[in-house]
Amino acid sequence: MTAAAEKITYTASAEQIARMHDTFDAGIAEIKKTFGQTHPMIINGKDASGRKTFDVRAPHDRSLVLGSFQFGTKEDVNDAVAAAKAAYPAWSARPWQERVAILRKAAEIIRERKFALASLLVIEAGKSRGESIGEIEEGADLIDEDARQTEAADGFVTPMGTLDGREQNESVFRPFGVWAVLSPFNFPHALSAGPAAAALIAGNTVVYKPASATAFSGYELARCFVDAGIPAGVFNFVTGTGSVVGETLTHHPDVDGVIFTGSKEVGWDLFKTFSTEYSKPCITEMGGKNPVIVTENADIDKAIDGTVRAAFGFSGQKCSAASRAYVARPIYEEFVSKLADRANSFAVGDPTQRETGTGPVIDESAVTRFEEAVASAEGGTIRAGGKRLTGGIYDSGTYVAPTVIDGLDPSHELFHKELFLPFIVVAPFDTLDEAIGYANDTEYGLTAGIFSEDKAEQEQFFNDIEAGVVYANRRGGATTGAWPGCQSFCGWKGSGSTGKGALGPFYVAQFLREQSRTRWIEE
């Protein structure tokens, strides 16, 4: 199988990733030729530029300017929302089969451009090659999954029963109107493509704002949608600050729904304030403090592999990253020692290079957060890492060492505060009940993993853990690596707001509202 044809997911092997290096080298060389240009917004099918601009820089080399993007204004947001509102009647009235066909075309275009898009992710977000190509593949698969759900539900029209033979009853799911799609820096492609496609397939129109740090990836995704034939006004792309573009969008009276991925603080505030006169849908995915439990019945090498990938992949900048581990006391020292050895040997460097295991963190604020976390670990033991990396290439970017800390009480803030860093704290336990109690002692409930060869322990974990995405013995990622159509990505507690997840079978329905239709048939 050629590199271009092979599908790479987040759990891909080193051998699979190695087969695509030559293609990646060419893709990186090509994308670099586009750097330094100024890029527009897309409002009502037209390029919108001429505003003040901001630069997007590479986290592995802050001197490298990838491109300049528009500081969108309140007026730009108003124009984009007005365009989306005007386009809504025709788009929502279009047969759902036609909407599905257009979005499937977008998925095809993404796959055709996947190495160019992935190469941009490597440089703009600092992802490794494997993480980058996995995200592009996920974005295309998310669109296909949205389409599949719609087809399986026959456009979300369901015949209903009747109490009278002269009635014909059906449940019809109908779109809301204009949706705001607000995406994060860490998955700028997948967590934009999937939500936007779901909203569009459902018959809504979209105003899309990417994270400023990854605006280039957002722009390239927008071009894929436009090139697929989405009509003017149906999909609009606006860049700028959260305080101007984001606030104007989420407080706009003509925005009928919003989907947000980001911090619990911002997401929860949005959830509380978005609806005013009446309830409007607000889908939020708000991060996690994801535990790994390793019992005495675990395969330790399997547990180490899964924990390392989940804790340090993409420098821990995933809402699903493993950031705390609870390990059975008889195997505790062996586990922590091996985990520290792997952390110390993790290849941290320039993400454009083949040998890199993980790249930089996104910016200086992330470095500051890392240094504050290390300082707060007083009384614990730094078993690996604990420092900013300096010297050579490290001086050009924002690099920190994968970090393992133990010796802290499970009540310590590092076991409870989301860091979004390559940083894991470890503590021992004596019983599985105790470990699950520690794991559940958090305001978050996104992902969790267990390593145990005992099926009874696995079952107890599944039944008692308070998280929406749970794994047992997953070597490819103890708490990470959910895939469209395979694992529904649903946050419980402070990690989500709807009780239904992305990637799963009930996602598109969240962008719709039910209407009961009865037709009276005269004899």
The catalytic residues are 285, 319
What amino acid occupies position 442?
T
Q: Which residue type, as a one-letter code, is found at position 157?
A: V
How many residues appear in the chain?
523
For residue 515, count CB atoms less than 10 angstroms from its CB and return exposed for 0-12, middle for 13-18, buried for 19 or more: exposed
Tell me the β-bridge partners of 194.
Answer: none
CA distance 505 to 453: 29
Which SS3 state, helix, strand or coil, does residue 257 take?
Answer: strand
How many of the other CB atoms lie within 10 Å of CB of 268? 15
CB-hemisphere CA count at 13 Å for 253?
1
Q: Give the pairing of strands 167-175 and 157-159.
A: antiparallel
Residue 5 CA to residue 172 CA, distance in Å, equals: 39
Between CA 250 and CA 261, with CA 255 as vertex, the angle to 5 degrees is 45
Strands of the 167-175 sheet, one edge to the other? 157-159, 167-175, 512-520
Q: Coil, helix or strand for 291?
A: strand
Extract the tokens encoding 187: 């998955």
Tokens 């992902």: give the residue: 447
- HSE toward the beta carbon, residue 499, CA cutoff 13 A: 0
- Distance (Å, whole) CA 53 – CA 70: 4
* DSSP symbols for 196-254: HHHHHHTT-EEEEE--GGGHHHHHHHHHHHHHTTPPTTTEEE--S-IIIIIHHHHT-TT
Q: Can you give 16-49 as a three-state secondary structure string?
A: HHHCCHHHHHHHHHHHHCCCCEEECEEECCEEEC
Which DSSP letter does residue 7 get?
-
Per-residue b or e along 328-347, where b marks 16 or more CB atoms closer than 10 Å to that residue's CB: beebbeebbebbbebbeebe
